[in-house]
Amino acid sequence: MIELKFYVLNYDFNGKKVEMFNIFSNCHVYDDAIKLCKKRKRGAITWDEFVEELDRSIKWQEWSRREYEISVGDAFETDLDKYEKWDCYQQAHANIEVIAMYTYKTFLKEIKKSE
């Protein structure tokens, strides 16, 4: 198994705290990323298609789902309406090019090790 890591902030409802969350711990995102890397290596998709499909997979799994959301605002704000909802996808989307490069390079490095 190829180890992929990219952390965003998320709220742990059980622990009642904000924590670092690896977007690839979602098995669907992980599986999609590996499939996309294989397609890219074969030349079946372009780099832009790879980035777009990876972004789409993360969005499909981690966008606007309560378990992947946190509220962000001023530490001293008492009006909850002034907080913004941020989800894991929103944080990852801002870094999608970096995530894509990291994912593909890690994939290629692990493939070379196994050859």
Q: What is the pLDDT of residues 13-51, one digit of tens each?
A: 889 899 999 999 999 999 999 999 999 999 999 999 999
Burial group, residue 86, by CB count within 10 angstroms (0-12, 13-18, 19+): middle
CA Rg value for the chain: 16
Residue 66 covered by a domain:
yes
**Residue 62's domain spans which residues?**
7-73+80-114
Does 29 reside within a domain?
yes
> Does 101 fall in a domain?
yes
Instruction: Count structural domains, the chain.
Output: 1
The answer to the question of residue 23 being in a domain is: yes
Q: What is the pTM of this model?
A: 0.89
CB-based contact 30:24 (threshold 8 Å):
yes
Would you put residue 90 in left (φ > 0), alpha (ψ -120 to 50) or beta? alpha
In a domain, 1, yes or no: no
The Cα-based distances of 31 to 20, 28, 97 in angstroms read 21, 5, 18
Q: 34 in a domain, yes or no?
A: yes
Three-class SS state of 86: strand
